[in-house]
Structure 1
Amino acid sequence: MTEPQEVAYGAKSHPRRHDGSSDISVHFGISDEEKAAVKNRGEKVLTALRKLGLNVKKGPVLSVLVSGGGLRADIACQGVLSELSHVGLLDMVTSLAGVSGSTWCMSSLYSQRDGFQDLVKAENELRRRLREDSWTFSVALDGLCVAAERDDYSLTDFWSYSIVYSFTKELLDARLSCVRDQSEKGTVPYPIFATIDQDLKSGANEKTQNAWFEFTPDWAGYPTLGSSTPGAYVSTTHCGSRFEGGKLIQQKAERDFSYLRAVCGSALADKNTILKTIKDFFWKLIHGSSTQEKMLIVHPEGITLKAITGDVFDLVYTFLTDGDCLPILKNLQSKMTGNKDFSEAATLTDQMIKHSLRTSRDEQRQLIQELLEKIFSRDLVEKSNVSSFLKFLWKTFSCLLSWTWGTTNNFVYKCGDIKDKFLAGQKNMYLMDAGLAINSAYPLVLPPVRNTEIILSFDFSEGDPFETIKATAKYCKACNIPFPPVDEAKLNQEAKTPSDFYIFEGENTPVVMHFPLFNKVNCGSTAVIEKRRTTYATFRLKDYSDAEVCQLLEDSKANVRNNKDAILAKISELAEATS
């Protein structure tokens, strides 16, 4: 596959080493930094092939895709990478692209300089963390209070500390840009973290081409804004800073891997399940520890705040789940009446009670938002000794009410080089888990600009093990992207008891090798496959035992080990064909 010619367009058509530059880039094709990284990685691939006795001049461009799936995907991704290394195939991987839970594993490995050098050590560390339960509620709360000071706080910040941290038992303060040195030298596969822009995502999977948003060590942005429209990027170090008209207005620190994990892995279940999980966290905050007392009982109004915090959360939760808010409003009114700090809030609550039957849902939402602003008034927050904690409560309740995730300053705001006027007109973009579109990062590695020749697709999905393949085939057809033929009827017949390996090939398309996590080879029967899927449910809140972690590692490793010869044969075939 040949790379389309890059054309002069907009701010910069040929992105080069930024050295801290705050420029944005509008261009076709991949950046010069990525090209250099892929070239240097290619030398490592070539060395690995020659060690096997292949006298070739160039190795094929091989991308490994690791799908979403919460903690199951995190652990299974570790198993896949460990086994690829063990059987000598990891050095042949050009890029590693992850979605959702798999990015948790990727973050952990890329945050360490030797993460890919000793995957046995990384695997043992993963087991230790999960076994020892190194999640601490007070640490999570401290992190949330710090995050609440940001003007772009959203439920993604909450998710980072309350859910992803509790699942992975790990907080990572390293940043993706720190991987530049390793990736440029080709010592690690080039990392691609996938998300989508919620505002640009349409209802159908096959129409989300312009919604995909990628993070790499060098640049973050939209690979394409349409079939004939260049992509738009900003230096990864400046993603999140404020831009206007293509100029940097306010620089902000690059977000860390812990936040990136939450951006990539925020769609582990349906909305009601997510709400229930958030409710459990707040129950622990309000009822299960002395943290709230320490935070709130520091001045006179703290007594009332402590009394009403649970009711305020219940009000928002009940509204979002279509429950009866009237009893909660009455409780709030009785607790706030007579307290001068909450007189305006009490008055508004009284009005809400009197008119509860005559207001629409949108009006109710607006009134609850106004109530939050009166309870957590500017005066109260600013004079408080724990203002960050009150900001955390207020912002989290407010974001819940509006269901706001992934708030990030839009770097192409009012940029004249962007033809998409909707995108250029938004001050913020809202990034979400790419699993909401396709639960694997095919759209980021399939475009010809990345020259991918082989894709190893490790699917850790909970349901249909072929959904990512079928969705990608539809997506590629709609977007005119080469993809091998897919017999959907046959895959549907095998979905309950899949094999451990499928290969999809076509004329002038990449070769796709697909590996369902639980299959009739590593599980043995349909009954065992179903049991595994139940045991490792995406939103299982009970921690895995060490035995369960080991079983999941073994299942994922087996899919590599049992098919290493087929993988190597295809790599060798393509390498010899191009030499």
Structure 2
Amino acid sequence: MMEGTEYSKAKGTSDVQGNRSQEIRISVDLSNGEKAANIQRMENVRQSLHELKIDCSQDNVPGIAVLGSGGGLRAMIALQGTLQELENQNLLGTVKYLCGVSGSTWCMSYLYKHEDWPKKLPTLEKGLCEKLAGGSWEMNKLLDALGAAVDEDDEYSLTDFWAYAIIYEMLSELDEALLSEQDCEKGKAPYPIYAAVDGKRLTEASKTSKEIWFEFTPHEAGFPSPGGFVSTTHFGSEFENAELKKKNKQKNIGYLRGLWGSALASSEEIKKAIIDSLKQFIFGRNVDAAHLQEEKKQSETYRMRSVLKDERNLLRKDAQVQDYVTVCEILEKESVEAAKQTPLHEKASIGVWTLPKIAFKTLPLLRTWTWGSNRNFLYKCCDIQSGDLANDDIISLVDAGLAINSAYPLLLRPERKVNLILSFDFSSGDPFETVKMAAKYCKENNIPFPKLDEKTLEKDKDNPENCYIFQEENAPTVIHIPLFNRVNCEGKIDEWNEKYSIFKLSSYTDQEIRDLLRVAKQNVSNLNTKERILAEIQNAVK
């Protein structure tokens, strides 16, 4: 295995087929881009500490990180409020890394479109409220994006449909920006890390395995363990033994939001959401008889209808989706009635058979439950030391919340030198599940982690305090802050959890958003919490 930032046998260029690619890096080290960003950021951190009357030398700047857990829309909104209040309390400037899972990544990708977003948080918060509460989505835009994914992406999966048909409607934004465009090398904001896991290797037993974790940064995407990365610009392109075979279009933020946030509900609810969305497309579509007669002449149409019929029969055997097979039946029906309104295909810039084509490619994936399909940049890479990872030409990346709903494994890489973690937990259920899973992960992988007081956590499970500190010598200190607690939601924790269910697949009202922002901010502005965070920052410097 090659060390440092060398690329796998990189002697060719990255855009000429057949040459060894400089886009693949086999190493456990950080990328050059992240290193450069950290140099700039740590100087800004030192200045922020000085403003808090905490002085340290350039060699003694603490590595402070903020973790945002998963939690759907409530995580997106709550992280926005949390970061706003950290900035209000002059604490955000001390943070080196910001790392998110699922809904938290939606907030991060919204903010990082602006290089100096910490100074624009009030305006961005207002924009987020307007977007979520009063925003709108366009069917034309949705179908254009989905139609392009169906036509152009050989690795089309449920993630594409989820991103363009579900997440877009939830967030009222189909973000076509690119992750590689997020400018963070001047250190004006914490360095961003977005989490995912390898769905093919994810099992109940492997949730605490190092090798399933996958990370995205503006510079690279890859597996920290065993140490295999590709430049973010080439994520999704086709490689073989570190040779670039085909350069594919870079995945945009809209798609990545679907990949990062694909575990918002149970599999049954997700299936229902997808098929109901397909039904919405089809029920709203009327096609005149003359147009249908013309389309019937095309053999591709007949082939598609035949396969759809076979797929319907297979889906009937699946109890979870048998109530929705009418989608296939609708597609098989030939409407001879004149359209009573402007046909959907005429409203959108797509062909009349794009809708059946979308269903044709999506419905089989419900049966096989295929998510996050992307070209494996480590395919047949002889330099990687990782079991069967190099054997598959396709990897399946899914929401990291399916493993640990907070990305401790990515922050705890020793190369990142993090010694203080501010964990803001927006997940549902046990408010300590993420930190307990993190402790288990670290124990099984011989990574230093503070000991937890299991008795206290069990006692407080249904009525948590607003701040817990876990610390131990030679281990990072963890400050764990549950979203809804006995301080900001006194006596009403269950009500808040029910009101802001992480399974909610539609947005909140303006007032609901502002209420959630308020309680999230209280978790930072509370005098006790702020003083404890400051004290631990001082300890980290020492």
Q: TM-score range by the shorter chain?
A: 0.7 to 0.9
Tell me whether 540-549 or 469-478 shows the greater mean CA deviation: 540-549
Cα offsets for 1:249-300 (capped at 9, x unmatched): 000121111111111100111110111111221221122x237779984734
Task: State how far apart, in whole Å, the 1-side matches of 2:312 and 2:136 are.
Answer: 29
Q: How does 1:182-193 map to 2 (within 5 A)?
A: 182-193=183-194
Q: How does 1:366-405 map to 2 (within 5 A)?
A: 385-386=351-352, 388-405=354-371
Is the Cα contact below 8 Å between 1:206 and 1:478 reproduced in 2?
no
In structure 2, the CA distance between the partners of 1:552 and 1:104, relative to structure 1 (3 Å rule), is same
Aligned Cα root-mean-square deviation (Å): 3.3
2:170 aligns with one of 167, 170, 178: 167
In structure 2, the CA distance between the partners of 1:553 and 1:419, relative to structure 1 (3 Å rule), is same
Is the Cα contact below 8 Å between 2:208 and 2:440 reproduced in 1?
no
In structure 2, the CA distance between the partners of 1:136 and 1:294, relative to structure 1 (3 Å rule), is farther
Task: State how far apart, in whole Å, the 2-side matches of 1:157 and 1:62 are.
Answer: 35
Cα offsets for 1:322-378 (capped at 9, x unmatched): 576999799799969xxxxxxxxxxxxxxxxxxxxxxxxxxxxxxxxxxxxxxxxxx
Tell me, what secondary structure is at the counterpart of 1:320? coil
Task: Give the partner amino acid of 2:280.
Answer: K
Tell me whether 144-153 or 64-73 shows the greater mean CA deviation: 144-153
In structure 2, the CA distance between the partners of 1:467 and 1:195, relative to structure 1 (3 Å rule), is same
Aligned to 2:510: 546
Is the Cα contact below 8 Å between 2:99 and 2:195 reproduced in 1?
yes
- TM-fit CA distance, 1:36: 1.7
Aligned to 1:156: 159
Is the Cα contact below 8 Å between 2:4 and 2:27 reproduced in 1?
yes
The answer to whether 1:469 aligns with 2:435 is yes
In structure 2, the CA distance between the partners of 1:556 and 1:422, relative to structure 1 (3 Å rule), is same
Aligned to 1:125: 127
Aligned to 2:496: 532
- TM-fit CA distance, 1:117: 2.5
Task: State how far apart, in whole Å, the 2-side matches of 1:237 and 1:216 are.
Answer: 11
2:482 aligns with one of 510, 516, 539: 516
TM score, norm. by length of structure 2: 0.87
The answer to whether 1:493 aligns with 2:495 is no
Tell me, what secondary structure is at the counterpart of 2:117? coil
Cα offsets for 1:123-177 (capped at 9, x unmatched): 1001101221312233212210011121111110000011111111111111111
- TM-fit CA distance, 1:393: 2.3
Task: State how far apart, in whole Å, the 2-side matches of 1:324 and 1:53 are.
Answer: 64
Tell me whether 433-442 or 26-35 shows the greater mean CA deviation: 26-35
In structure 2, the CA distance between the partners of 1:296 and 1:492, relative to structure 1 (3 Å rule), is farther
Task: Give the partner amino acid of 1:76.
Answer: A
Tell me, what secondary structure is at the counterpart of 1:125? helix
Tell me, what secondary structure is at the counterpart of 1:164? helix
Task: State how far apart, in whole Å, the 2-side matches of 1:461 and 1:83 are.
Answer: 20
Tell me, what secondary structure is at the counterpart of 1:282? helix
In structure 2, the CA distance between the partners of 1:50 and 1:276, relative to structure 1 (3 Å rule), is same
Q: How does 1:169-208 map to 2 (within 5 A)?
A: 169-179=172-182, 182-204=183-205, 206-208=207-209
Is the Cα contact below 8 Å between 1:205 and 1:471 reproduced in 2?
no
Tell me, what secondary structure is at the counterpart of 1:299? helix
Task: State how far apart, in whole Å, the 2-side matches of 1:446 and 1:70 are.
Answer: 24
Aligned to 1:252: 248
Cα offsets for 1:60-111 (capped at 9, x unmatched): 1111000001111111111111111111111111010000011011111112
Aligned to 2:374: 408
The answer to whether 1:270 aligns with 2:234 is no
Aligned to 2:99: 97
Cα offsets for 1:479-501 (capped at 9, x unmatched): 11110001223212111100110
In structure 2, the CA distance between the partners of 1:421 and 1:120, relative to structure 1 (3 Å rule), is same
Tell me whether 540-549 or 495-504 shows the greater mean CA deviation: 540-549
Task: State how far apart, in whole Å, the 2-side matches of 1:183 and 1:323 are.
Answer: 44
- TM-fit CA distance, 1:308: 9.7
TM score, norm. by length of structure 1: 0.82
Task: Give the partner amino acid of 2:171.
Answer: T
Tell me whether 303-312 or 100-109 shows the greater mean CA deviation: 303-312
- TM-fit CA distance, 1:39: 1.7
Task: State how far apart, in whole Å, the 2-side matches of 1:314 and 1:222 are.
Answer: 38
The answer to whether 1:432 aligns with 2:427 is no
The answer to whether 1:54 aligns with 2:54 is yes
Tell me, what secondary structure is at the counterpart of 2:505? coil
- TM-fit CA distance, 1:552: 0.5
Task: Give the partner amino acid of 1:545.
Answer: T
Is the Cα contact below 8 Å between 1:243 and 1:249 reproduced in 2?
yes
Aligned to 2:145: 143
Structure 2 unmatched runs, 5+: 335-349
Structure 1 unmatched runs, 5+: 226-230, 337-383
In structure 2, the CA distance between the partners of 1:566 and 1:283, relative to structure 1 (3 Å rule), is same
How many equivalent residue pairs? 514
Task: State how far apart, in whole Å, the 2-side matches of 1:112 and 1:559 are.
Answer: 25
Is the Cα contact below 8 Å between 2:268 and 2:320 reproduced in 1?
no
Is the Cα contact below 8 Å between 1:272 and 1:321 reproduced in 2?
no
Task: State how far apart, in whole Å, the 1-side matches of 2:324 and 2:126 are.
Answer: 52
Task: State how far apart, in whole Å, the 1-side matches of 2:233 and 2:146 are.
Answer: 22
Task: State how far apart, in whole Å, the 2-side matches of 1:114 and 1:101 are.
Answer: 21
Task: State how far apart, in whole Å, the 2-side matches of 1:259 and 1:326 are.
Answer: 26
